[in-house]
Amino acid sequence: MRRREYDEDDVRVRPGKGSRPRTRIRPAHEDAVEGFVVAVDRGRYTCLVEPGGERRRRRGVSASGTLVVAMKARELGRKGIVVGDRVRLVGDVSGRPDTLARIVRAEPRTSLLRRSADDTEDTDGIERPIVANADQLVIVTALADPPPRPRMIDRILVAAYDAEIDPLLCLTKADLAPPDELVAQYDPLGVPYVVVSKGGDLDPLRAELTGRISVLVGHSGVGKSTLVNALVPEAGRAVSHVNPVTGRGRHTSTSAVALELPEGGWIIDTPGVRSFGLAHVSPDTVVAAFPDLVEGTVDCPKGCTHRDDDCALDAWVAAGNADPARLTSLRRLLASREGEPDPD
């Protein structure tokens, strides 16, 4: 007899009268359909449902599916659902107005971009998921108005390494300032980059995005929403302006949203951030992103922060085993992980 599959959440244990607890097993939702979460708003999840499922999306094929609004089923408990999650839905998945489906299962994630809320606006230090299943993190930063914030870029890079997501630097407003100095700063890290200017050619950026699930992250005012509107004309994302006094932009995107690219693939726009906490990332995770330095940590003392005088990496680099610029970059990222502020 063929065995049936069951969800682990579908096992319920109830005590029997005068006997040992007994187990009642309910079969998994066999009629559930696959959905891709494209937006989250106050407990309501907008999901794209299509016959081809995730495989077609990963190949960059047009989704042309149905948008279904759903709520999270009670049996999922406190399990969080974020944009980019692949889920299973039951109920009314027609997408008609005033209908509501239920998310009964979240599929395993291939990646999860997280940040810790340890900035000046929220000091609770809680780890917060941002986006699931992205395979590329696009760090959007302006070359001027507002000026670049290298420590912010460093922190987002650390988050990309922690999530095992490929990073890409997108340098905007090249019509206001040259990119050379900033590009040179990240050259030892081997981070790919694209440079765009107002009204300029976006084809190099499109080539990096096509066929992938990319999440765009950057602080306010760097032109992220302008980019999104240019890449997906029907997106209609609100555009912010930079405060002439503080040199910072104001938040315009209030929640993450996934948008399909005309050329294939997805971009996930996220709200502008003023800080990117990394309390959840260990120093070893950062070091692991530098394979040419990992072997040199073998002789480090226990609990080495790799920033102290007794760190073995100094001798490793001095012996010619790695480029000194790489060690400098590593320590810069480790410093950013500890939340050292950007110089104003």
- Express each pLDDT in 236-295 by its tens digit: 655 544 433 333 444 444 678 999 999 999 999 998 776 788 888 888 888 988 989 999
pLDDT band at 20 (very low <50, low <70, confident <90, very high): low
Taking only the tens place, the pLDDT of each residue in 66-82 is 999 999 999 888 888 99
Q: What is the pTM of this model?
A: 0.79
Residue whose C-alpha is closest to residue 88's, from 36, 163, 159, 161: 36
**Dihedrals phi, psi of 330, to nearest 5 degrees:** -60, -50
Once rounded to an integer, what is the mean pLDDT over residues 54-68? Answer: 58
Return the pLDDT at 237.
Answer: 55
Give the mean pLDDT of 19-47.
76
pLDDT for 339 equals 65
Angstrom distance (rounded) from CA 67 to CA 53? 13
Longest dimension (CA), the chain: 79
Q: What is the mean pLDDT of residues 40-50?
A: 92
Contact 195, 164 (CB under 8 A): no
Q: Are 139 and 156 in contact (CB under 8 A)?
A: yes
Give pLDDT tens digits for 289-326: 898 999 999 999 988 989 988 999 999 999 999 999 99
- CA 110 – CA 132 distance, rounded (Å): 7
Q: Please compute, for residue 60, the number of CA atoms within 13 A of its CA located in the half-sphere on the CB side.
A: 15
Question: Within 13 Å of residue 156, how many CA atoms lie on the same side as its CB?
Answer: 27
Q: What percent of the chain has pLDDT over 90?
A: 52
